[in-house]
Every structure is written in structure tokens, then in C-alpha cells.
Amino acid sequence: MHTHFTIDCVIYSFHEGQLKVLLTERNESPYSGWWALPGFFVNKYEEMEDAVARISYEMTGLKDIFMEQLAAFAGVKRHPEGRILTVAYTTLIRFDDVKNKVKPVTDYMRQANWFSVSELPELAFDHQEIINLSLDKLKRSISYSTAPFELLPDKFTLTQLQQVYEEILRKKLDKRNFRKKIMNLGYLKELNEVQQHVSYRAARLYKFDKRKFAKLFSQE
């Protein structure tokens, strides 16, 4: 009638054209030395949302990131000591905002690192399964979520946006059709600025307009 209770975090970012997930190297038995999702035990009198904030910080050094619940995983056989119920949370962050800040502030993990979701090492516990479920959800919800814009910098090119879509959907899209469709949605603001420091024709930059996006999905 009691169970251990943990939180695991699936933290995505986008870098060099690839969807990345943040993993930590465990320093504790079981699975010591294995890569795993950042996660830890919830305290007795701690609200789940507070635990998510605390644990994501302790395991990765990242602060103030908003996480959304994915699902609960509770296999009795996940751990020799008996059941450990974990609730998985997901978030998406801008790689550039955090690139040098990702470092555990606890001894439970030795290091943290970004891995391309298509080239993951063998993971501890059922963490691969958790990631798979989370990728499915991301794919299904992409058309009505702000996910792509949470992964990109404030100003981005349409090619970058298309790459994010292609990574999440795991398929190539047609450039002209993609641009037509995304611009038609009306929540991208075209800027009078272009990319800097590229050795080819610089692409125009765009911004995401949260308000217009919200309006689009408010009434329906």
C-alpha cells in the first residue's frame, strides 16, 4: 500500500539540426555508471510540482524550467527493493540558453550530457520506454503545441523551423508547402533582419507571436 515515489525528467533541446535529450550518468547502485534520465526521489511533504523543479535542478543545474506531466511508470520489477513508481515529466528548452550550464549539483549523478534521440546509449531502468512514449506524444501534438518554438531561439529562420518539424515528425517536408502552411497560420512575425555570419545568402529571421497562437486555439 506504500511505494517509493520518484520523478524522471525528459528534457529536450535542438542543436545542429538534431533533437537532443539530456541524460545523466548515475553514480549510485543500481545502474551505477549507466546513462539515465535525470530523476530522483520525491520528499514526503513535497508537492509533486515542487519536486519536479527541485529534482530537475539538482540533477542538471537547470533552473526555472516548466515541465509537463507525461505518465506514471510503476513496474514492480523496476528495482530489486520493490516497486518504485516514477512520474515522468517533459520539457523543451533552447540549447543556447543552457549550453554551458548543464551540470549536476548532487553526487548522485556524475555528469550530464546531451544525446541525439536517434543515437541513445543503452539506458537504465525503463528509461528508453519513457523516452519513446514522450517522442510519440511530441509527434502527435506538434500541430497544436508551441513545442517547435520552445526549442528555437527567439529569432529563427524558416529553415531552422522546418528542421525542428522534420526531427520531431521523423520525415522530410517540402520547403514550399511548409512555408505556405506555416505562414498561413498567421502566428509568425517576419522581421527586417537576416542571419549574421553565414558564408552564403543570409536567411530572413522570424519571431513566434504567442498571442496570435493562443487566439487561434482559444475558441474552437
Partner DNA sequence: TTTAATAGTGTAATATTTACACACTATATT
Partner DNA sequence: AATATAGTGTGTAAATATTACACTATTAAA
Residues lying near DNA in the complex (CB under 7 A) are found at: 157-159, 174-177, 179-181, 184, 194, 198-204
- Partner whose footprint covers residue 180, from DNA, a second copy, none (CB < 5 to 8 Å by kind): DNA
- Give the single-character DSSP code of 193: E
- Residue number, 140 or 189, with CB nearest to a second copy: 140
Residue 80 cell numbers, joined: 530489486
Residue 140 cell numbers, joined: 502527435
Instruction: Work out whether 4 is an interface residue with a second copy (CB under 8 A).
Output: yes
Query: Can you tell me the distance from the alpha carbon of 102 to that of 26, in angstroms, rounded to the nearest whole number?
Result: 15
Instruction: Work out whether 75 is an interface residue with a second copy (CB under 8 A).
Output: yes
For residues 17 and 159, the answer to whether their CB atoms sit within 8 Å is no
- Residue number, 44 or 211, with CB nearest to a second copy: 44
Instruction: Give least dist CB 206 to a second copy, A.
Output: 27
Measured from the Cβ of residue 49, the count of other Cβ atoms closer than 10 Å reads 13
- Partner whose footprint covers residue 85, from a second copy, DNA, none (CB < 5 to 8 Å by kind): a second copy
Residues 79-98 that bind a second copy (CB under 8 A): 82-83, 85, 87
Instruction: Work out whether 69 is an interface residue with a second copy (CB under 8 A).
Output: yes
- Partner whose footprint covers residue 1, from a second copy, DNA, none (CB < 5 to 8 Å by kind): a second copy
For residues 129 and 43, the answer to whether their CB atoms sit within 8 Å is no
Q: With residue 203 as reference, give the H or E element that holds it.
A: none
Handedness of CA 20, 112, 33, 58 (dihedral sign): negative
- Partner whose footprint covers residue 18, from a second copy, DNA, none (CB < 5 to 8 Å by kind): none
**Alpha-carbon torsion angle 49, 51, 52, 56, nearest 10:** 150
CB neighbours of 122 closer than 8 A, spacing ≥ 6? 34, 35, 128
* 73, β-bridge pairs: 86
- Partner whose footprint covers residue 219, from DNA, a second copy, none (CB < 5 to 8 Å by kind): none
Residue 206 cell numbers, joined: 522570424
Stretch that binds a second copy, among 21-29, 73-81, 119-127, 204-212 (CB under 8 A): 73-81
Instruction: Give least dist CB 183 to DNA, A.
Output: 9
Instruction: Give least dist CB 154 to a second copy, A.
Output: 29
